[in-house]
Amino acid sequence: MAAAAAARILRLAPRRIQVPKTSPLAALSFPLPRTAPIAAASGRRQRFCAVAQAPAPAAAATGAAGEAVGEFRKRLRVADVKGGEDEGAAWVGKELAVRGWVRTCRAQRTITFVEVNDGSCLSNMQCVLTPETEGYDQIDSVTTGASVLVEGVVASSQGGKQKVELKVSKITVIGKSDPTSFPIQKKRASREFLRTVAHLRPRTNTFGAVARVRNTLAYATHKFFQDNGFVWVSSPIITASDCEGAGEQFYVTTLLSNSADGGSLLKDIPATKDGRVDWSQDFFCKPAFLTVSGQLNGETYASALSDIYTFGPTFRAENSNTSRHLAEFWMIEPELAFADLNDDMACATAYLQYVVKYILENCKEDMDFFNTWIEKGIIDRLNDVVEKNFVHLSYTDAVELLLGSKKEFEFPVKWGLDLQSEHERYITEVAFGGRPVIIRDYPKEIKAFYMRENDDGKTVAAMDLLVPRVSTYKLVNLLEEARGKSVLITLKPGWTSKI
């Protein structure tokens, strides 16, 4: 089945890939570049679901007991049509159906323009309706936020904003939206306001782009580690151990669940004779916490499977409202066996360059949007991450460099003290002209107890990867905000001690 699907996609793709039929690769489904006009090449309409224009035959479905389940087909998305290099030109003359949500509706004398977005890309499909369009009598319901099915023929667009548009032969309003109360309108809304309508935020350009980029970053993360032979380990979320004293922990308990009206009564919490919480009556019969790191679990797997990575949610109960603190975030923790700090640095560098390159190539439209509206220059800076060699220098050399800079810093520079943001920014932005920098071999006093001590007896095999301006990236803050609680993907490669 998967082989057949892969073969079908490959056959339809304009750039053919020769895969020997006997190759194990033939069994895998290649991710098609988002930009390939699948159905255009074949001239066949591909529809994933056909409910609106051809209702599911309910009688047939339930009439004969034991009918086979229908085929699952990749759905045709606006990105499939407009995402190619030709921006959809190859589709001109083809018939297709688009399902999505109305962004705007502009009525002119004889024609009406409806912008429909299906979330597959930032671009809308511009749909052109005339009074002859079937369903035109419903035009009053075609308002911002309404969900519609539009069917028609792709045509070259007169407007400068897009190469193609859809000449609509039929429009069906699937779900109406009250134009007087729907809160997401064309004008730009503040993020504070959008937080109050979080269930509709994903329909904005900004949050849609964030969701797509975050998805792509996550998948690229898996691809990178899987391609390099790492095994993903899902370390426990509820744990009885504090990993590294990395942060305050949340308690996980059912002792508080005896809610009376209005809230839990303190007297209902099980207690021991001396007035302490009686953990033996809790769910796990002892105190349990949300994990602050999967590192300890990861190390046990790395000491058996060689190279592993964790990628899951992590929790810190630190009540700090800064852009560097989150109560809940997804963290990546690779653990490499039989590796030293050089391998660790090489892995972190390769990973970061891989995922950044991946989003620049696969999320071009969304990144252009960020570059224009969220943070100017971010594409150039990310290109630097991909193209420039990362440098590494020891903490000791970094201190020398800072002392020799003659620059006045707010915080003191002295061997043994941790580096502050201003120091890190000087190193990456001034001393190395925008190149990412790894600082290694920190004094053991300022790093965690489990770091391997170097032969000098004073430093440990630890490293920090500094990316120019990353701590002030608005984009990072945005990624954090998108889900309310947790979004930032952090990288924290560990160093696995030899066993």
Q: Shortest gap between Cβ of 376 and its own copies (angstroms)?
A: 26
Residue 131, C-beta contacts closer than 8 angstroms, at least 6 positions apart: 110
Among 167, 357, 452, 474, contact with its own copies (rule: CB under 8 A):
357
1 binds its own copies per the rule CB under 8 A: yes
151 binds its own copies per the rule CB under 8 A: no
28 binds its own copies per the rule CB under 8 A: yes
- Could you give the CA distance from residue 448 to residue 32 in angstroms, rounded to a whole number? 44
Among 30, 193, 373, 409, contact with its own copies (rule: CB under 8 A):
30
Strand partners, 152: 96, 168
Residue 171, C-beta contacts closer than 8 angstroms, at least 6 positions apart: 114, 127, 129, 133, 134, 135, 136, 138, 139, 142, 148, 149, 150, 151
Displacement of CA 120 from its chain's centroid (Å)? 14
Yes or no: say if 213 and 363 are a contact pair by the CB < 8 Å rule. Answer: yes
Site map for its own copies, 234-273, x if CB under 8 A? xxxxx---------xxxxxxxxxx--x-xxxxxx-x-xx-
426 binds its own copies per the rule CB under 8 A: no
Site for its own copies in 361-420 (CB under 8 A): 361, 386, 389-394, 396-398, 400-401
275 binds its own copies per the rule CB under 8 A: yes
Question: Residue 76 in 3-state DSSP?
Answer: coil
Q: Shortest gap between Cβ of 158 and its own copies (angstroms)?
A: 28
**Paired tokens of 257:** 């669940």
Strand partners, 150: 98, 171
Give DSSP secondary structure letters for 180-218. Answer: TT----SS---HHHHHHTTTTGGGSHHHHHHHHHHHHHH
11 binds its own copies per the rule CB under 8 A: no
Among 11, 25, 380, 421, contact with its own copies (rule: CB under 8 A):
25
Site for its own copies in 55-94 (CB under 8 A): 56, 58, 61-62, 65-75, 77, 79-80
Strand partners, 464: 439
Site map for its own copies, 314-353, x if CB under 8 A? -x-x-x-------xx-x-----xxxxxxxx-xxx-xxx-x
Among 7, 52, 153, 374, contact with its own copies (rule: CB under 8 A):
52
Q: Shortest gap between Cβ of 372 and its own copies (angstroms)?
A: 21
Site for its own copies in 152-171 (CB under 8 A): none
Site for its own copies in 461-490 (CB under 8 A): 483-487
Yes or no: say if 113 and 105 are a contact pair by the CB < 8 Å rule. Answer: yes
